[in-house]
């Protein structure tokens, strides 16, 4: 159960669907509730597929490129920490490459936005992918894998619920409320990234 809670907390914090709410609202202003629900569903499905692929196939990508797990942990920790810093400073959209007039116009002109930019890179970005590859190396027991999969499914469900309710959330707590929550989550995400870097460095020092 500890693995489930730790994994769910880490995934939810790093994916930060709350930070995607303003962007989702902006991109779906002209859609009705049914269409928004459909976009939220397909975004969630795409996110879940990315999570599963990252967990089960990520290590083979590392082998192909000759990247060690420790290198991935440090790189992933840096990415996660930078994402947290972007949340803490209110530059989440910019960090995810959603700034710029031409980019916004391109996104709004697309008929399908559930895969990109919503699923990737807004929600299931490099930090999330590197985290799951690391978990695949750390946990190998069947019971542990089951808990990890359950955490991924629940994290995916949370994404769906939040995106589907995004317009209601904005009306209820406003942009300032979302910004405040994102900053709190940002602090947690920074701590997760730093923890990954420190644990890897300590592990490497022990082998010297």
Preceding omega of 28 cis (within 30 degrees of 0) = no
Q: Is the pLDDT of residue 37 over 70?
A: yes
Tokens, residue 103: 């980019």
Mean pLDDT, range 147-167, rounded to an integer: 93
Structural domain boundaries of the chain?
2-207
More confident residue, 122 or 160: 160
pTM of the model: 0.78
pLDDT digits (tens, 9 = 90+) for 73-122: 888 888 888 888 887 777 666 655 555 554 445 444 444 788 877 888 78
Report the candidate in 200, 170, 174 with the shortest Cα–Cα distance to residue 76: 200
Tokens, residue 206: 């022990």
In whole angstroms, give the CA distance from residue 79 to residue 57: 20
Preceding omega of 182 cis (within 30 degrees of 0) = no
Q: Is 139 left (phi over 0), alpha (psi -120 to 50) or beta?
A: beta
| Residue 111: predicted pLDDT | 47
Task: Identify the DSSP state of 96.
Answer: T
Q: Residue 15 in contact with residue 158, Cβ under 8 Å?
A: no
What are 33-37's contacts with CB under 8 Å, separation 24+? 36/164, 36/166, 36/167, 37/164
Mean pLDDT, range 156-177, rounded to an integer: 87
Percent of the chain with pLDDT over 90: 25
Q: Residue 183 in contact with residue 90, Cβ under 8 Å?
A: yes
Report the candidate in 42, 175, 15 with the shortest Cα–Cα distance to residue 116: 42
Residue 85, classified by CB atoms within 10 Å of its CB into exposed (0-12), middle (13-18) or buried (19+), is middle
Report the candidate in 61, 90, 84 with the shortest Cα–Cα distance to residue 13: 84
């Amino acid at each position: 159960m500890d693995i489930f809670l730790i994994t769910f907390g880490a995934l939810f914090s790093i994916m930060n669907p709350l930070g995607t709410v303003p962007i989702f609202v902006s991109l779906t202003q002209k859609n009705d509730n049914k269409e928004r629900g459909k976009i939220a569903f397909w975004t969630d499905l795409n996110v879940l597929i990315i999570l599963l692929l990252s967990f089960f196939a990520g290590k083979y990508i590392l082998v192909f490129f000759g990247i060690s797990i420790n290198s991935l942990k440090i790189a992933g920790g840096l990415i996660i920490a930078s994402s947290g810093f972007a949340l803490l400073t209110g530059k989440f959209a910019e960090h995810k490459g959603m700034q710029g007039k031409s980019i916004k116009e391109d996104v709004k002109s697309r008929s399908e936005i559930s895969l990109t930019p919503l699923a990737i890179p807004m929600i299931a970005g490099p930090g999330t992918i590197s985290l799951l590859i690391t978990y695949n190396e750390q946990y190998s027991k069947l019971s542990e894998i089951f808990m990890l999969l359950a955490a991924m499914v629940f994290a995916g469900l949370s994404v769906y619920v939040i995106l589907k309710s995004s317009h209601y959330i904005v009306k209820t707590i406003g942009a300032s409320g979302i910004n405040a929550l994102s900053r709190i989550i940002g602090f947690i995400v920074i701590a997760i990234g730093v923890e990954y870097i420190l644990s890897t460095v300590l592990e490497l020092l022990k082998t010297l």
